[in-house]
Structure 1
């Protein structure tokens, strides 16, 4: 009991910090989403703000673009990073320099990433320079319909290496004896992947997916520096909407958008975690 008390003392600062800087602000945000006005004078209005939010064209555009970014970017980054991790699996202890190269885009500062994107896809960038040399029309990569896909490409380039390292850490924990036994039984490479590798990688994939989602939302920094507060429609994300609501001191809209985004994230991770847990239970 005494040891447990000492443990509680040690974690108390962290718990107090979590309460003060996370739970209490979240409670305030939740309250704003159901009330009109500020402070104790706020009047409860039920779901009125949520109803109005779904009728807001800017919110629907931002929500659609954000979900589209996640729906396209997450499968691509997980598939690409998993394939690269599988290729590096047998030499995981070697090629340390290659791992560093993979991580270089991830640790590149935001300003450096934006500068690189502008050098490549700006109006006078390298890609348009190549198009001009080939007598092809100049494309507005960052201010038109292609801007969204440039951001997807940036997301993959910047974060794939980090996901590869996370998945590689899971792959090296798969016992080599299982592969050797499968070789003796005449199993093909696909059979080893399906029956040995994949069943033992679900939690590693889940962990990598969490960070991929976090990194997807971090891409707003680059998108904001490229497009500003009011970018082209293809780049208008939920973070733009929330940031603009904060700038206009519209805490009700800001709070509703934040709560809805949190609900989507919780539902997404809850469903995937249930899927992973079911796979693990079946394997056991």
Structure 2
């Protein structure tokens, strides 16, 4: 082993040991709990816990809500962040204050503004009172379907700023000569976006997509603070299912659910990596 390679591994070793000790080993050991019947007799159950988890209506409800949430917030967050990034890039005066305003959610802890969200979106919050005063019926205002839209709004407020930073870094590295050349060929703003911005921004878009999917699983804290551990069935997420199984000490169900989620996310990431490689090979 070369000297500089040894030095690299030496600096990486503390982080690798920490990841292995606190993440990899516990995750692998949890497979043992996923394969036993209960914590009392520790009878080997094989795939029985996995089958029970998949057939559990509560798990199915949580998985469906999670998929719906990801399907709503990830595309909306990416489109909104890209649009705002392009707007900031083309701004003249006022770019600095506009950028600072959009990046505020990055430096403000979400826990410190939960009270603000509760004032707006609580069962008797300001938003519902304004809707009632605007003439909306009591049934429409207090129906549970509003809760998912509120969670999407909270997610966008919290994560769009991070996506703006990623898209901004990708836009900066696109040479302006590409736009000038295609503009001389008569291309308008839309063709410039499709043929230049979108093509050269594809690696950044892939990173933003991955980070958005990962961050979509971190919304549990906000839901818990707003609606508690047992919210309505419309916003009951997989994180609620895992948390409630942990509190009830149902470790076999918890571990089997965690592995099912791990396999599903891994499959999605594998498909995304394959698509990214195909797109990269196409434009090289």
- The two structures have a TM-score, normalised by structure 2, of 0.91
Question: 1:34 & 1:198 partners in 2: Cα distance?
Answer: 46
Q: Is the 8 A contact 1:141 1:150 kept in 2?
A: no
Asked if the contact 1:36–1:42 (Cα under 8 Å) also holds between the matched residues in 2, the reply is: yes
Match of 1:171 in 2: 171
Q: How far apart are residue 30 of structure 1 and its match?
A: 2.0
For residues 193 and 184 of structure 1, what CA distance do their matches in structure 2 show? 15
Q: Distance in 1 between matches of 2:162 and 2:142?
A: 25
Q: How far apart, CA to CA, are the structure 2 residues paired with 1:64 and 1:57?
A: 10
The match for 1:3 is 4
- Where 1:44 maps in the other structure, the secondary structure is coil
Could you list the per-position Cα deviations for residues 168-211 of structure 1 after superposition, in whole angstroms to 9, with x for gaps in the alignment? 11011111111111111211212111111111111111111222
Moved more, 1-10 or 46-55: 1-10
The more displaced of 273-282 and 139-148 is: 139-148
> 1:159: Cα distance to partner?
1.6
Conserved 8 A contact 2:132-2:141:
no
Larger CA deviation: 231-240 vs 127-136: 127-136
**Cα RMSD, aligned residues only:** 2.3
Deviation at 1:138, TM superposition (A): 4.1
Structure-1 separation of matches of 2:8 and 2:135: 70
Equivalent residue number for residue 159 of structure 2: 159
Q: 1:87-116: CA deviations, max 9, x gaps?
A: 223349972222221122343323343222
The match for 2:51 is: 51
1:275 aligns with 2:284: no
Partner of 1:36: helix, strand, or coil?
coil
Query: Which residue is equivalent to 1:28?
Result: 29
What residue in structure 1 maps to residue 150 of structure 2?
Answer: 150
Partner of 1:224: 224
- Superposed, 1:87-126 pairs within 5 Å as 87-91=87-91, 95-126=95-126
Please report how far the alpha carbon of residue 120 of structure 1 lies from its aligned counterpart in structure 2 after TM superposition. Answer: 1.7
Q: CA deviation at 1:4?
A: 2.3
Aligned match of 2:86: 86
- Aligned-pair distance for 1:140? 7.8
**Consecutive unaligned residues in structure 2, runs of 5 or more:** none
**In structure 1, distance between residues paired with 2:244 and 2:93:** 47
Unmatched tracts of structure 1, length 5 or more:
none
Aligned length: 283
More relative contact order in 1 or in 2 (CA 8 Å, sep 6+)?
A: 2
Compare 81-90 and 217-226 and name the one that shifted more.
81-90
With structure 1 as the length reference, what TM-score do the two structures score? 0.91
Q: Distance in 2 between matches of 1:45 and 1:93?
A: 66
